[in-house]
Structure 1
Amino acid sequence: MRLTRIGHSCHLLEIGGRTLLTDPWFTVTPTYDPGERVALTVDQLPELDGILVTHEHYDHCDLDALGSRLGVPLIAPHTVVARARNLGFRDVRELAAGDETRLGDVTVTATPGLHGVPEVTYVIQGGGRTVFFGGDTLKIPELDELPDRFGPFDLALLPINGLCVRPAGDRQVVMDATEAAQLAGALRARIAVPHHYAFTSGRLGDLLITKSRREPVAFAEAARRLAPQTEVRLLLPGVPLTA
C-alpha cells in the first residue's frame, strides 16, 4: 500500500493493485487556496482506477480539472452525481452510507459523515489492507463503530483543522485535532495521516468567513495521548508513504 498526499484532502492511494484519487483539488483561486503546494497536476497523475469524492464543496470536488479523466469510475454521494454526468464522466457510481462498489479486487464502502452539506466517508479494502478516508467530516459516533464491521484499520486519513464558519456563530463543521486523535484511537489505526489543515479562504475570508487551526503537530501531540497505538505520519505534499 502506498499513499502520496497531493495537497489538502487530495491523495493518491495505491492499494490492492489499484490506484485511487481522493477528493480532487487542483485549481487554486484567491478564496480557495490549499495553503501548501499542490504536488501534482492532473497531467502528472498516473493511470487511475477510481476517483472518490466525499461531497460537493469545491476544495474536495474539483471535477472541472479532470476533463482528461472522464473514463475513470467516479464514486460520489447523490449531490455530486448529476454534475459529474453533465461534465461527461461515463461511469458515475452513487453511494450512500452503507453502500459499496468494487474496483477490481478493491472494495469501496461509503460510511457516514457530517459536514455543512451532505457528505460520506469511505472505507477502502484491498490487498489485505483497510483504509479509512474522511474528507472533512465532523467526528460522529457512527465512525467509532466502524471497527465492529471492518476490523482495525491499517491507515486512517483524517481532517484535523476544526474549521468553523464565522457568520454561522462559529459553527464547527470539521473535526479538530483532538477529535481526530480520538477517532484514530477508536479505529485502532496502525498509521494515521492528517489532512485538511493548511487551507485558507484568503486574507479577508479568514478574517470574515472561516477560522481554523493549521498546525498538524497538534494532532500528533493529541494522538500520543489518545491513540498511543497509532503511528502519526505528517506528510508533505508529494512525499510518498509505503505501509
Structure 2
Amino acid sequence: MTTPLTVTRIAHASQLITLGDLRVLTDPWFTQNATYYPGEPVVRTVETLGPLNALVISHEHYDHCDLDALVAGGFDLSTPLFGPGTVTALAATKGFTNLHTIEAWETARVGDLTVTATPGKHGVHEVTFVIAAHGRTVFFGGDSLHIPELDQIPERFDHIDLAILPVNGLCIRPAGLRQVVMDAEQAADLTAVLKPTLAVPHHYAFHSGFLGDRMITKGDRDPRHYTDALGRIAPEINTRIVLPGVEVTVP
C-alpha cells in the first residue's frame, strides 16, 4: 500500500508536507515588513500549525527563515530543524535545541524521516532538499537557481514523487538585475530532469512593495509561465498551481 503524501501551501515557500504520519514544514514565513510582502494570504498562524516532526530551512533570508515568528508563536523549539550551517547557527541563537546541520549531499535522519541537503545557489548560502519517508520522496527547491549539480538528483535517488520549485526568476535591481532565483523556463528544465509524479511551483507571489518593486527587486509573479513552459518541455509531467490553504494529494 502506498503511503499517503500531501502538501499544503501556507504562503511563498512555506509548505506543510505530510508523508504518512510525518509532518514537515519548509521555509517558514508568517509575517511581513516594509519590503517583504507575501503577496497572497498566509493561511496558517504559528499557533495553528499543530505538532511537527521536522522543520526544514534552505537559507537564512527572513522570508524563508522567520524564526522570530516561530518563537513568538510558542513553537516547540525542540522540533528537529534541518538546514545548512548558516541556518542552524542562527537557530541556536533563537533557542532551538534539536539542530541538524547538513550541507550539499549530506544526510540526516530522525526516526523514519530522512533529509538530504542537495546543492543550491542564491544570493546567500543555500541548500535545497530531498525529503523522504515511508517510500515517498519530495524535492524542495527553496528559492535556488537551477545549477548543473541539481541535475544529478535522479542519479542519486529513486523516483521523485513531488517536486516543489521556485519560478519567479527574482532579480536584484541595485546589482544590475542579477538573477538569484530560477525563472519559469529554468524551473521547467529542472522539472524535466527530475521527472516527478507531480510538480508544484512556489515563490512567485512575493513582492517588495510599490517602491521596492521599482528600486530593489524584479520578479515574475505569474506561475502560469511555469506550467506553460513545462507543457512545452515535458508535457507528460503533471503540474498544479496550488492556492494557499489547499491540500493536494500526490498520487
Answer yes or no: same fold by TM over 0.5: yes
In structure 2, the residue matched to 1:98 is: 105
Letter in 2 for 1:239: V
In structure 1, the residue matched to 2:237 is: 230
CA distance in 2, matches of 1:135, 1:204: 25
Choose which of 35, 42, 45 in structure 1 pairs with 2:46: 42
Letter in 2 for 1:220: T
CA distance in 2, matches of 1:16, 1:58: 30
CA distance in 2, matches of 1:112, 1:227: 23
Letter in 2 for 1:151: D
In structure 1, the residue matched to 2:161 is: 154
Q: How does 1:1-243 map to 2 (within 5 A)?
A: 1-67=5-71, 68-69=74-75, 70-243=77-250
1:227 Cα deviation from its structure 2 partner: 1.9
Q: Secondary structure at the match of 2:63?
A: helix
1:151 Cα deviation from its structure 2 partner: 2.5
CA distance in 1, matches of 2:198, 2:110: 24
Q: Secondary structure at the match of 1:35?
A: coil
Deviates further, 121-130 or 157-166: 121-130
1:16 Cα deviation from its structure 2 partner: 4.1
Q: Which runs of 4+ in 1 moved over 2 A?
A: none
TM-score (norm 1): 0.98
Q: Secondary structure at the match of 2:123?
A: coil
1:100-137 deviation per Cα after TM superposition (whole angstroms, max 9, x unaligned): 11132121000000001000000011121111001100
Q: Secondary structure at the match of 2:235?
A: coil
Deviates further, 14-23 or 155-164: 14-23
1:57-83 deviation per Cα after TM superposition (whole angstroms, max 9, x unaligned): 000000011112211111111112222
Letter in 1 for 2:132: Q
Count of paired positions: 243
Structure 1: gaps spanning 5 or more residues: none
Q: Secondary structure at the match of 2:192?
A: helix
CA distance in 2, matches of 1:16, 1:150: 20
Letter in 2 for 1:179: Q
